[in-house]
Structure 1
Amino acid sequence: MNYFAKIKNLNENLEQEVTLDINGVVFTAFIDICPYEIKEGQRYPVSIGFTMIHDLRVRLNANRLKELERVGEAYMYVIRGIVREGFIDAGLHIIDEDGYLDNYPEVMGKYAEMKVDRLGVEFL
């Protein structure tokens, strides 16, 4: 799903880091694709995905939460939401471009949580 995101912060020291606000959900991500110049305070169309460096672990979440929770000051996030085919609905649709969730058919259509190494954003 595509969203219009407001850029809250562009990291001067790490060119690919961006903090976005989408409908009140603020998170820090890495810029995967950006075919044009972007500026703080402006809104742009984006899609959101995630990157895995370590093994993905997905488990059912009885709390029925939809949220993105940053792990400390690291780039890792715990994503909580309903698993759908090709994405997890955490209040925002986080796309599973690499099909990691296909390995967890037992959580399809259910509330689950997973820890990802970082969130990625594509400017459309």
Structure 2
Amino acid sequence: MVYTALVKRLDPQIEEEVTLEIEGIEFTGFSFICPYKIEVGKSYSVSLGFTILNELIIHEIQGDKKEIERIGSGYEYYVRGLLQEDTIDAGLVFTDDDEYFSDYTELESKFIEIKVDRISVEFLRTATN
């Protein structure tokens, strides 16, 4: 899904780190694809994914909670929401580019929680400024 993201912060030390606000939700992610220079205070078209560095931790949760919760001050997040074939809707829709969810078809159309090592942000070719 394509979103318009406001850039809130760029890290001067870690080139890929970016803090964004999308639809009132603020989070820090990694811009793994950025075909142009981005600036704080401007808005850009993005799509979202996630990175799992070690083991995928996924389980069904009770209720219909959709949220992104930062774990400590690092880059890890709990992503809670509705699992579909290749996405999770946590208020923002994250795409499963690495096909992790294909092993969890029994959880499709259920609310789940996954722990991600970082949120991946792809800045799309069309800037919305």
What interval of TM-score do these two structures reach, taking the shorter chain for normalisation?
A: over 0.9
> Runs (4+) of structure 1 moved beyond 6 Å?
none
Per-residue CA deviation, residues 38-86 of structure 1 (Å, 9 max, x unaligned), is 0000000000000111100110010321000010011111000000111
Instruction: Mark the runs of 5 or more structure 1 residues left unpaired by the alignment.
Output: none
Amino acid at match of 2:78: V
- What is aligned with 1:90? 90
- What is aligned with 2:38? 38
The 8 Å contact of residues 83 and 111 in structure 2, kept in 1 or not, is answered as: yes
**How far has the Cα of 1:10 moved from its partner?**
0.3
> Secondary structure of the residue that 2:102 maps to in structure 1?
helix
Partners of 2:110 and 2:75 lie apart in 1 by: 25
Partners of 1:85 and 1:20 lie apart in 2 by: 26
Query: What is the Cα-based RMSD across aligned positions, in Å?
Result: 0.6
User: What TM-score do the two structures reach when normalised by structure 2?
Assistant: 0.94
- What is aligned with 1:107? 107
- What is aligned with 1:77? 77
- What is aligned with 1:117? 117
The 8 Å contact of residues 76 and 116 in structure 2, kept in 1 or not, is answered as: yes
Instruction: Mark the runs of 5 or more structure 2 residues left unpaired by the alignment.
Output: 125-129
Provide the identity percentage.
47
- What is aligned with 1:10? 10
Partners of 2:112 and 2:13 lie apart in 1 by: 34
Partners of 2:26 and 2:63 lie apart in 1 by: 21
Per-residue CA deviation, residues 79-106 of structure 1 (Å, 9 max, x unaligned), is 0000011110000001100000111112
- What is aligned with 2:127? none
The more displaced of 55-64 and 36-45 is: 55-64
Amino acid at match of 2:48: I
User: What TM-score do the two structures reach when normalised by structure 1?
Assistant: 0.98
